[in-house]
């Protein structure tokens, strides 16, 4: 949230660029195929970077929160490409959470 807040307060384009760069990289790390297990679908993890740590609900929640803020910023600046990209990532993760809640 801090980059979004800084952008809201200052309008500084550097914060806007940082928000999009960081969240674009995050979306690249999202598991979109459910491999190796369906409950991995929507998680944010890059096995080529073990220094990022293993995925768990706490980190996933923080990543999702950041994506929601990035989506709001994209709406604010009428960036439809980022809106759609972030919206799809958010829906993928949240939909799976809802499904598994009832299994």
pLDDT tens for residues 11-54?
A: 999 999 999 999 999 999 998 988 888 778 888 888 888 888 88
Q: Quick one: average pLDDT of 89-100?
A: 74
Q: Assess contact for 72 and 4: CB atoms under 8 A.
A: yes
Classified as helix, coil or strand, 103 is coil
Query: CA-CA distance, 94 to 71, in Å (whole number)?
Result: 14
For 18-71, the three-class secondary structure string (H helix, E strand, C coil) is HHHHHHHHHHHCECCCCCCCHHHCCCECCCCCHHHCCCCHHHHHHHHHHHHHHH
Q: What is the pTM of this model?
A: 0.86
Classified as helix, coil or strand, 44 is strand
Percent with pLDDT over 90 in the chain: 54
pLDDT tens for residues 64-84?
A: 999 999 999 999 999 999 999
pLDDT at 103 over 60: no
* Sequence spans of domains, the chain: 2-101
Query: CA-CA distance, 43 to 39, in Å (whole number)?
Result: 8
Query: CA-CA distance, 103 to 100, in Å (whole number)?
Result: 5
Q: Assess contact for 59 and 44: CB atoms under 8 A.
A: yes
């Amino acid at each position: 949230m801090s980059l979004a807040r800084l952008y809201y307060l200052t309008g500084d384009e550097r914060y806007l660029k940082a928000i999009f760069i960081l969240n674009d990289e995050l979306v690249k790390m999202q598991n979109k195929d459910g491999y190796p297990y369906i409950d991995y679908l929507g998680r944010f993890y890059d096995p080529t970077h073990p220094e990022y740590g293993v995925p768990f609900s706490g980190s996933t929640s923080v990543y999702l929160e950041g994506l929601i803020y990035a989506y709001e910023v994209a709406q604010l600046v009428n960036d439809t490409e980022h809106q759609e990209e972030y919206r799809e990532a958010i829906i993928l993760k949240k939909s799976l959470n809802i499904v598994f809640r009832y299994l």
